[in-house]
Amino acid sequence: MQHDPTRVKPPSHLPHPRQVVADLEASRIREVANEGLGREGVLKFWFGESDEVTPAFIREAAIASLQAGETFYAHNLGLPELRDALAAYTDGLHPGRGVAHWQERLAVTSGGVNGLMLASQAIVEAGDEVVVVTPAWPNLVAQPLIMGARVKSVPLKVLASGPRAGAWALDMDALLAAITPATRMLIVNAPNNPTGWTLTAAEQRSILAHCRRTGTWILADEVYERLYFAGDTPNGAASSFLDVAEPEDRVIVAHSFSKSFLMTGWRLGWLVLPAALTAAVGKLIEYNTSCAPVFVQRAATQALLRGAEVTPALVNHLKACRDTLVPLLRGLPGVTLAEPLGGMYAFFRLEGQADCLDTAKRLVREAGLGLAPGSAFSPEAAGWLRWCFASRDRERLTQGVDRLSQWLLAQPR
């Protein structure tokens, strides 16, 4: 009777995923956002996206593609036209190597997050050690964990004094001490979500030199590269590991169309790889998502070709948003923050609110203000809140600060 299913009961205990997957934290930002479900008039600054719709000319390119019937499978590594445009774009930001050089180093991915996951799949074996600079977007820590790695966190430190007091800063000695020959990969996101921390070219050179010694891969999440306000670099963007590394260095840079082209919902990004790795990542794309939709890639191609109509104005606007929000926040009692040099977040400490997840939920309920709790990004950021200032209407930022101000006044002293 071996084949009689009635003889064997289904499992009496619940089916369970791998322990490491069960242990992954659910998003604390979504936990706060759920607090706002069904609540009218909440000012939402919790997610990392602008409230501005993708420019019409980009959407129209996708519409034209759909009307033309481009609904079939595409190349694993991306449409040739998009790869051409990406190579030209990359050459424009990092000149001197030629378009052909970048052509063979590109892989189009189903979002920046997907590119980062593919990089972990390409590099990280179970049991490997991975170092992550934190606070960071939670996905950067989760991905190597899913691949079975051990993750070692190197926290940024808050400057207690000086002109940048309240800013999160890298302890270079601590980072380099943490990266040993046992470290398979370093994951670093700068300009940083959530802290706004950035890396200088000199710091990138130091990290690279050390990682060359230890044989460690660098996975650089540079999706906020263009959202940089300091004006101290030749191309206007934040310094990139691509500017300091040789083509054969063990460096992978992850990019996204989301932030610089207002395309969060399109799920398209790209990786810049050592050429020797491109074919392997092409195989991983086949086995993960196979390709990105052609009509999405057509839209992205237009975004790149006409990027001058989008990104510079966006960066100017975000700078104005920052310059609206940060001084107002600084004027509130108990608030500590430094002006972020890049990205689209104001990250601030609120005195006496150590349980920032609870604070963020209360702000939704009691003040109609939606912020992300710092504890979503690392334990060290408990007591902090992230405010995405990518708001089409800067007046919304002012209104939000008013709500926070009134809520603070109502708190017991």
Helix or strand run (H / E) with residue 375: none
Which H or E run contains 407?
Answer: helix 394-410
Which region among 22-30, 83-91, 366-374, 405-413 touches its own copies (by CB under 8 A)?
22-30
Q: How far is the CB of 405 from its own copies (least distance, A)?
A: 28
Residues contacting residue 64 through CB under 8 Å, at least 6 positions apart: 298
Interacting stretch for its own copies, rule CB under 8 A, among 49-57, 97-105, 369-377, 402-410? 49-57
Shortest separation between residue 25's beta carbon and its own copies, angstroms:
8
CA 235 vs CA 79, 91, 92, 100, 375: distances in Å: 27, 11, 9, 20, 34
Burial of residue 313 (CB within 10 Å: 0-12, 13-18, 19+) is: exposed
Instruction: Tell which positions 50-89 bind its own copies, by CB under 8 A.
Output: 53-54, 59, 62-63, 66-67, 69-74
- Give the pair of three-digit tokens for residue 128: 């490997």
Q: Which tokens is 229 given?
A: 């306000």
CA distance 329 to 243: 35
98, 165, 290, 365: residue in contact with its own copies (rule CB under 8 A): 290
Q: Which is nearer to its own copies, 263 or 328 (CB)?
A: 263
| Interface with its own copies: number of residues (CB under 8 A) | 97
- Assess 266 for contact with its own copies (CB under 8 A): yes
Binding part of the chain for its own copies, among 78-86, 157-165, 263-271, 403-411 by CB under 8 A, reads: 263-271
Q: Which is nearer to its own copies, 60 or 358 (CB)?
A: 60
Token pair for 39: 């609540």
Task: Using CB atoms within 10 Å of the CB of residue 271, give its burial: 0 to 12 exposed, 13 to 18 middle, 19+ buried.
Answer: buried
CB of 82 to its own copies, least distance (A): 14
Identify which of residues 143 and 193 has a Cβ nearer to its own copies in the complex: 143
Q: Please report, as residue ranges, which positions from 109 to 148 form the binding site for its own copies (by CB under 8 A).
A: 110-111, 113-114, 117, 121-127, 139, 142-143, 146-148
- At position 157, the amino acid (one-letter code) is K
Which of residues 105, 250, 259, 361 is near its own copies by CB under 8 A? 250
Judged by CB under 8 A, does residue 96 bind its own copies? no
The CA distance from 124 to 147, in Å, is 7
Dig out the tokens for 238 from the structure. 């934040």
Residue 92 phi/psi, 5-degree rounding, is -65, -40
Question: If you ran DSSP here, which 8-state letter would residue 245 be given?
Answer: S
Of 165, 182, 279, 354, the one binding its own copies (CB under 8 A) is 279
Closest CA to 58 of 238, 226, 222, 268: 268
Residues 264 and 287: their CA atoms lie apart, in Å, by 23
H or E stretch covering 271: strand 269-272
413 belongs to the binding site for its own copies (CB under 8 A) = no
Comparing CB distances to its own copies, the nearer of 77 and 335 is 77
d(CA 140, CA 147): 12
Backbone φ and ψ of 388, nearest 5° = -80, 115
Q: Kindly identify the residues of this chain, within the stretch 340-379, that bind its own copies according to CB under 8 A.
A: none
Interacting positions 154-183 with its own copies (CB under 8 A): 172, 176
Query: Among 100, 246, 308, 413, which residue sits at the site for its own copies (rule: CB under 8 A)?
Result: 246
Least separation in angstroms between CB 84 and its own copies: 17
Q: Among residues 194 and 383, whose Cβ is nearest to its own copies?
A: 194
Span of 15-23, 86-94, 311-319, 362-370 interacting with its own copies by CB under 8 A: 15-23
| Residues from 27 through 46 that contact its own copies (CB under 8 A) | 27
Check binding of 286 to its own copies (CB under 8 A): yes
Return the number of the residue (281 or 335) whose C-beta is nearest its own copies.
281
User: What's the min distance (Å) between Cβ of 310 and its own copies?
Assistant: 13
Q: How far apart are CA 405 and CA 391, in angstroms?
A: 19
* Binder among 77, 199, 245, 404 for its own copies (CB under 8 A): 245
CA–CA gap between residue 146 and residue 22 (Å, rounded): 10
- Write down the least CB distance from residue 73 to its own copies, Å: 5
Segment contacting its own copies by CB under 8 A, of 84-92, 211-219, 363-371, 378-386? 211-219
CA-closest candidate to residue 34, choices 23, 24, 46? 46
Q: How far is the CB of 343 from its own copies (least distance, A)?
A: 17
